[in-house]
Structure formats: structure tokens, C-alpha cells
Amino acid sequence: MNTRLFQNHIVRKEIPLNPIWDFHTLNSEERKQEEFKMLVPGCWESNPKLASYKGKAVYSKKVSFGGNVRLVFKGVSHTAHVYLDKKPVGYHYNAYTEFSLLLQDIPYGEHLLEVKVDNSFHEESALHVSNDYYSYGGITRPVVMEEIGDMFIKNVHFIPYRKNGKWYASIRSSVRNLSNEQNNITLKIKIGDEEVSFSDKVLSPHAETNLENSFEFPSATTYTLENPKLYMMDAKLLHNDKVVDDIIDRVGFRDIKVDGKDILLNGEKVIIKGVNRHEDYAEFGCAIPIEAMYRDIEMIKSLGANCVRTSHYPNDERFLDLCDENGILVWEESHARGLSEKQMRHKNFEKQSLDCIQEMIENHINHPSIYVWGILNECVSNTEFGRSCYARQFELIKSLDSSRPVSFASLEAHIGSDSCLDLVDIVSFNIYPFWYHDTPVKDSLANLKNFVNSMGGADKPLLISEIGAGAIYGHRSNNQEKWTEEYQVYALTEQITPILSDEDLSGVIIWQYADCRVDKGWFHGRPKSQNNKGLVDIYRREKLAYHKVKEIFHSFQK
């Protein structure tokens, strides 16, 4: 199964899983209901009979294997309980992050693999709640079963940095030893024409060993948006001179810094011209096929955009691979949108939030396109309790990756009360003049800048992380009525031109790239039960605004 745009193992073998699984829904007493065949990856909503199904279901299949295997789920929406031969072997919450299960010493033969999935807003769920996007159901991202031996490479993390005009990288790797013996290994890592190694390392029995060192890469070519130079990073684990495992990833030599009000890519100021993108595509739901992802990247590039914000959760890694390849900067954020203090006080909120951050960074840290880690979109950032949540989450991010700036998109209503601006490297606000209110844009921006400067944000980059207006595709009229395509053009023109002309601002991320489905609890303000602020509709049909934004973005070629 292709979980990336390139082969990420040669030595480690994959046990092919037929993409068609048996499937049945469960009623509230967890008794079998309707049976179907279901595609993995996919959303069950793609089956018209389950278009609005909220609840539990079971995916199952017989698989022949044995020994030690890693079962890797790139995304299950949104709560998963995994069983092997009816015995529980794993659990995961959150649709948007990868989890893997280690199945050891399995007797060779045919086994029953079952995944019970729940997309309801059950009482254990703190982050998947009724919201202005849809929590789909299913094994929505790829599943991989990998054969491993007694030792395997858990991860290889690559952090590039520049010193005295040369490229270096800090490389950290975790290696697992599943055996009873102490083993001596060497980890060899080839990046382009250079090879570095961790030689003669001792792996204690039944333990994970962390290796870390910095290396110089004198011949590395810098990754830029114009020339997004990527290198394969091929890590091989040797035991008694035999390669026993490998991981292949892709990296780029670039660094992101914040300097005063500027965001610097390789030391050069970059003005963000971006779009917010939900993972949602007509009948595919959040399980967007690679062909459709590629179409999105082409349309985003043709806009003249240089950034995508993964509103409001970590994205499918294949989309991040496309951003890496195309020089599109990514603001990736952990899963949260618009949670109240009551919701942030949910008993599972902190663990589910921190788990999501850990898994997001653990699995995505090598992507050169990611330039900022975001959290807690429009949550409670103006109370002492809310601040403690933001602070705890930023603390975890910085402990996992100190190489990237952090931010969060604050609510327009928090202008005047936000108490978390000192916690971020980049100050970001979502504002909606000409949509939710009719304050002239220049007054909105002046009001925002006055507040941010009064809160010590004067010497930090200031991003407008959301701004936009709604339009129903095909609804046309020249009477300046809201929801028409013409009004959306007018609003976006009034909104983004002053932002891109403002020396005090670091750019704009438009809300949003494409229309997306919303939960039924949001139907009242969302015609067709969709968030219609897309520049294109859910089928990627271009609204007039797509062409207007393209004209404006291309006219600002900074």
C-alpha cells in the first residue's frame, strides 16, 4: 500500500492487504447490523446507504502471516479498537494521526484481523465534536502490515541547520531490540552522495535505543520554494554485517527562522500567500485519493499560493509529500477547532491533545515544507485556564522540535483579551471584515495591530491566518448580495489587497481553498450543510473568487 509518494522500505517486507474488507455496522448494543464490502482507505459515507451514518462499525479480513509484524494505520476516523483472532491488540483515538501496533511471535497461519471504528461524538471524545467540518467514519488512510525481525528502526528524524554558511543536520534515530540478547549494530544513513553512520552501538534486550549526532553535509543543495531540492534518506540497520532492516524517507536542507516581524526561509523574508484546506472532497469525504490530492496541489500552485494551512488537524502524509515536492509551505496543526472552556476541561482533552501533537511531530518532522507547528484554532486563549493549556501544548512541541516556529490562530473576538501572544513565535488571527461584520478592513487591521503591539507582539511576525467570505457555487447576481459569487470576489478583494500591501504583516491565509461538509449541528448557518467559503466547491469547480485571488496573488510576487 502506498503510504508515501516513494518506496519507504526495500529490505523491510510488506504483507499485502487486499483493499476490500468485510464490513458491518453495529447497533447501540454492538450487535451486527447491515453487511457490506468496504474499500480501505475510504470513508463509509461514500456508500450512499451510510452517507450520514454516525456510530460504530467493524472492518474485518483474514490475513496469512506469522512472526513479528508491525501493523501501521495512517488514519482511522476517529476511534479504533483493533483485534487479532478476537483478542484486543490496540486502540487509538483521533482520525488524523498515525498509529502502529507491534504483533510479536505470531504463529504462522491465517488470522482474523478486525478493526472496530466509531465516528460518533461519544463521551470519551474531546476533540471530535459537532463542528464546522465533518468527522467522517472509516479506515480513511492507508493500512500497512510490515514483517520485521528481532530488531527494527522505529524512526529517523532529520533536523537541518546552517552554520558558517554550510549545511549540517542533527540526526536522531530510535532502534528497537525485541530479542532477549544484547545486540551490536551499525546504523548507516545515506543522504544523496553522503553517508553517515552510528557504528558499533549496543542494543539492550527488549529495549529501545536512541542514537543522536550532528553531521556536516558540505555538498548539500538548499531547498527553496523555487527549487525544492529533496534528498532520499536511506537508513540501513546492520547486524553482523547483514542489513536486517531499513527505512527510506525524504528530506530537504532548509531552515526557518523568525527575525523581528519577518518569517525567514534560508535567511530570506517570505510573505505568506496561503489557503486553508480541509481534507474533504465530494464523495470521497476525508479519504481523498492521491489523484485528487494532486489536483488540489496543481490548483493551489496555479493560484500563486506558497502556503497551505492544514486546518484543523494533521494531514495525510502523501499530501505533505506533494507539498514538499512542489515548494508549498505548510502550517501543520494539531487537531482542535473552536473548543469552549467546558470542552477544554473534558477529562480526555489534555491527553488526546498531547497524543495528537506527539504523533503529528513524530511522524511528520522530516517534511521540509512544514514551516510552523500550530495548535488549538480559536480555542480559549483569553483565560488563565486556557492559557495553561496553550502553554502545556507549546512546551511539548518545543521539546520535540525546537527547529520550527509555533503559532495558533486566535479568534477575532479575542482582539483585546487574548493572553497567549507571548507564547508564540508568530502571532496569528482569524478576522472576517465584510462577512461577519462590516468594519472597513483598514480599521479591522489597525485595531488588530494596536492590540497586538500593546501585548508585546510588536516585534513578532503577524499573520492573518483566516479571512474570506461565503459563496454558493453558481449563485450569481450583481446586487452585492452575500452568498453570491460576485460578493465573494468583492469581499476578498477588499480583504486581501490591504493585507498583502501592509509592511507590518507577514501575509494572509485565505479561508478557505474548497467548500467542505459540516456536521449536522452546524446546518443553520451553512447552506447545503457545507462551509461555502471555498474558492472552489467540493468538486473543485472554480468560483469567480478563485480567479480574482489568482490575479491578486500573482500581482504580489514577493
Toward ligand ADA, which CB reaches closer, 369 or 377?
A: 377
Distance CA 506, CA 331 (A): 14
Question: Residue 515, interface with ligand ADA (CB under 6 A)?
Answer: no
Question: Residue 377, interface with ligand ADA (CB under 6 A)?
Answer: yes
What is the secondary structure of 288-357 as a DSSP string?
Answer: --HHHHHHHHHHHHHHT--EEE-TTSPPPHHHHHHHHHHT-EEEEE-S-BS--HHHHTSTTHHHHHHHHH
Closest residue to ligand ADA in the complex (CB): 132
- Smallest separation, CB 363 to ligand ADA (Å): 23
- Max Cα-Cα span within the chain: 77
Question: Residue 334, interface with ligand ADA (CB under 6 A)?
Answer: no
Toward ligand ADA, which CB reaches closer, 133 or 281?
A: 133
- Smallest separation, CB 445 to ligand ADA (Å): 16
The grid cell for 539 is 468538486
Site string for ligand ADA, 92-131 (x = CB under 6 A): ----------------------------------------
Toward ligand ADA, which CB reaches closer, 6 or 523?
A: 523
Which residue spans within 366-469 are E strands per DSSP?
370-374, 406-407, 409-410, 427-430, 462-466
- Smallest separation, CB 517 to ligand ADA (Å): 13
# chain residues binding ligand ADA, by CB under 6 A: 10
Distance CA 318, CA 310 (A): 13
- 382, 444, 490 from 412: Cα distances, Å: 12, 10, 21
**Ranges within 299-318 binding ligand ADA (CB under 6 A):** 311
- Smallest separation, CB 497 to ligand ADA (Å): 20
Question: Residue 519, interface with ligand ADA (CB under 6 A)?
Answer: no
- Smallest separation, CB 411 to ligand ADA (Å): 7
Toward ligand ADA, which CB reaches closer, 3 or 276?
A: 276
- Smallest separation, CB 285 to ligand ADA (Å): 17
* Contact of 369 with 330, CB cutoff 8 Å: yes
* Contact of 310 with 331, CB cutoff 8 Å: yes
Toward ligand ADA, which CB reaches closer, 99 or 313?
A: 313
Which one among 261, 533, 540, 543 touches ligand ADA, defined by CB under 6 A? 533
- Smallest separation, CB 377 to ligand ADA (Å): 5
Question: Residue 378, interface with ligand ADA (CB under 6 A)?
Answer: yes
* Contact of 504 with 261, CB cutoff 8 Å: yes
Toward ligand ADA, which CB reaches closer, 215 or 522?
A: 522
Question: Residue 430, interface with ligand ADA (CB under 6 A)?
Answer: yes
- Smallest separation, CB 531 to ligand ADA (Å): 5
Number of H helices, E strands in the chain: 8, 29
Categorise residue 230: left if φ over 0, alpha if ψ from -120 to 50, beta otherwise: beta
Toward ligand ADA, which CB reaches closer, 368 or 433?
A: 433
Question: Residue 132, interface with ligand ADA (CB under 6 A)?
Answer: yes
The grid cell for 264 is 525567514
The grid cell for 107 is 504463529
- Smallest separation, CB 430 to ligand ADA (Å): 4
Which residue spans within 165-226 are E strands per DSSP?
166-177, 183-191, 194-203, 207-216
- Smallest separation, CB 539 to ligand ADA (Å): 19
* Contact of 188 with 195, CB cutoff 8 Å: yes
Toward ligand ADA, which CB reaches closer, 114 or 519?
A: 519
Question: Residue 540, interface with ligand ADA (CB under 6 A)?
Answer: no
Question: Residue 488, interface with ligand ADA (CB under 6 A)?
Answer: no
Question: Residue 337, interface with ligand ADA (CB under 6 A)?
Answer: yes
Radius of gyration of the chain (CA): 24
Cβ of 338: how many Cβ atoms within 10 Å? 15
- Smallest separation, CB 134 to ligand ADA (Å): 12
* Contact of 64 with 110, CB cutoff 8 Å: yes
Toward ligand ADA, which CB reaches closer, 152 or 511?
A: 511
Among the listed residues 422, 429, 307, 420, the one whose alpha carbon sits nearest the alpha carbon of residue 371: 307
**Ranges within 30-69 binding ligand ADA (CB under 6 A):** none
- Smallest separation, CB 491 to ligand ADA (Å): 13
Distance CA 398, CA 478 (A): 50
For 221-237, give one letter per residue: b (16+ CB within 10 A) or e.
Answer: ebbebeebebbebbbbb
Question: Residue 531, interface with ligand ADA (CB under 6 A)?
Answer: yes
- Smallest separation, CB 255 to ligand ADA (Å): 29
- Smallest separation, CB 530 to ligand ADA (Å): 10
* Contact of 388 with 357, CB cutoff 8 Å: no
Among the listed residues 373, 411, 367, the one whose alpha carbon sits nearest the alpha carbon of residue 394: 373
Distance CA 549, CA 302 (A): 10
Toward ligand ADA, which CB reaches closer, 61 or 414?
A: 414
- Give the dihedral of Cα atoms 264, 463, 379, 280; nearest 10 deg: -90
Which one among 511, 513, 546, 553 touches ligand ADA, defined by CB under 6 A? 511
Which one among 280, 466, 515, 537 touches ligand ADA, defined by CB under 6 A? 466
Toward ligand ADA, which CB reaches closer, 277 or 346?
A: 277
Question: Residue 401, interface with ligand ADA (CB under 6 A)?
Answer: no
Toward ligand ADA, which CB reaches closer, 118 or 132?
A: 132
Contacts with ligand ADA by CB under 6 A lie at: 132, 311, 337, 377-378, 430, 466, 511, 531, 533
